[in-house]
Amino acid sequence: MQTLGEYKLPHFFHYPPYFTLQPVRETREKQIQLWKELILDYCRARKIFVIGLEEDFPLFSNLAIERSLNHEAREAFLSAIVLDGRAEWMDKNHRQCLILWHRIKDWADIILHFVKENGLEDSVMTVEEIRTGIESRGTDIHGMDRGVLVRALKLLENKGKLAIFKGTSTDDEDVPTSCIDDDHLYKYHNSVLTFIGMLAIEPNVVSGIRVIGMELRSNRRMQKEVVIEDHKASSSSASANKKFDSYESSKRSVGRGSNPIHNKA
């Protein structure tokens, strides 16, 4: 059996007729199904997320039998995957295709399972730590496309399963898995913290530290939390660290069901 590296290719890959779109409908449908399964499985095994129709994608050619898929066949097979909801065209001319060997909703479930399995419910991680960190090694999450990951995270965000702390650049984007509870969502945009279903936002700037207070009703109880962000004001760095430690401590208390109230000083 021929292989591509360590990947074992299916038997049909060695037969020339499969590299030409078949004219008979039933035969073509079977051919397309085989190619769909091969492309998705290969992309998952190699963690490939983008296929260019004009690029030298390994599955498009078999040098051993001197056969290659033409443009029509490539587009037909990828379009079939798109129709199944397992891929998306990245441009209107169908030059590149985003492969979703897991659908976005499935990625979201995988991420949620990963978080719970590794006891990360009360931690803060960056997007890069999720996709390249030690905890994700050996999982489908490790090395996944950043854009796909962010889409899955935003789906979880919309469901109230996590919060996204958004920094001043994409490299600063943190995804904390710590929430007041599973039914609510909060989100940072630089220094701005927004609660879905929030009652109030009260921003205040003190000694170079932006303090944002907010209020949320959850299951007949009032919970308050203060977020402190150090804006690199050298004269207030010690104060910022102290207040951040206090916030981290209060966050753990919130996880246990208490109602911490911090004074803005």
- Residues whose CB is less than 8 angstroms from the CB of residue 184 and which lie 6 or more positions away in sequence, other chains included: 160, 195, 196, 197, 216, 218
Decide which of 159 and 30 is more confident.
Answer: 30
pLDDT bucket at 126, cuts 50 / 70 / 90:
confident
Residue 200 has pLDDT above 70, yes or no: no
CB-side neighbour CA atoms (13 Å) of 56: 2
Name the DSSP class of 136: G
Q: For residue range 35-90, what is the model confidence (pLDDT) as tens digits? A: 999 999 999 999 999 999 999 899 999 999 999 999 999 999 999 999 999 999 99
Q: What is the pLDDT of residue 16?
A: 96
Residue 124 has pLDDT above 90, yes or no: no
Q: What is the pLDDT of residue 215?
A: 29
Residue 170 has pLDDT above 50, yes or no: no
Fold of 102-164: Arc Repressor Mutant, subunit A (1.10.10)
Decide which of 259 and 191 is more confident.
Answer: 259
Give the CA distances from residue 224 to residues 63, 154, 238, in Å, rounded to whole numbers and listed in that order: 65, 24, 24
CA angle 88, 93, 95 (to 5 degrees): 65
Total number of residues shown for the chain? 265
What does pLDDT average to over the chain? Answer: 70
State the pTM of this model. Answer: 0.62
Q: Do domains 3-99 and 102-164 have the same CATH topology?
A: yes
Neighbouring CB atoms inside 10 A of 160's CB total: 17
Query: pLDDT above 70 covers what percent of the chain?
Result: 60
Question: Please, are residues 122 and 178 in contact by the beta-carbon 8 Å criterion?
Answer: yes
Residue 156 has pLDDT above 90, yes or no: no
- How would you write 201-251 as a 3-class SS string? EEEEEECCEEEEEEEEEECCEEEEEEEEEECCCHHHHHHHHHHHHHHHHHH
Which CATH superfamily hosts domain 3-99?
A: "Winged helix" DNA-binding domain. Chain C. Domain 1 (1.10.10.570)
Decide which of 198 and 58 is more confident.
Answer: 58
Q: What is the pLDDT of residue 145?
A: 92
Parse the chain into domains and list their residue ranges: 3-99, 102-164, 179-265
Decide which of 9 and 233 is more confident.
Answer: 9
Which of 31-35, 83-87, 103-107, 129-133 shows the lowest mean pLDDT across its residues? 129-133
Q: What is the pLDDT of residue 4?
A: 79
Q: What is the pLDDT of residue 1?
A: 52
Residue 187 has pLDDT above 70, yes or no: no
| Burial (CB count <10 Å: 0-12, 13-18, 19+), residue 153 | buried
Amino acid at 125: M
Q: What is the pLDDT of residue 135?
A: 85
Q: What is the pLDDT of residue 164?
A: 74
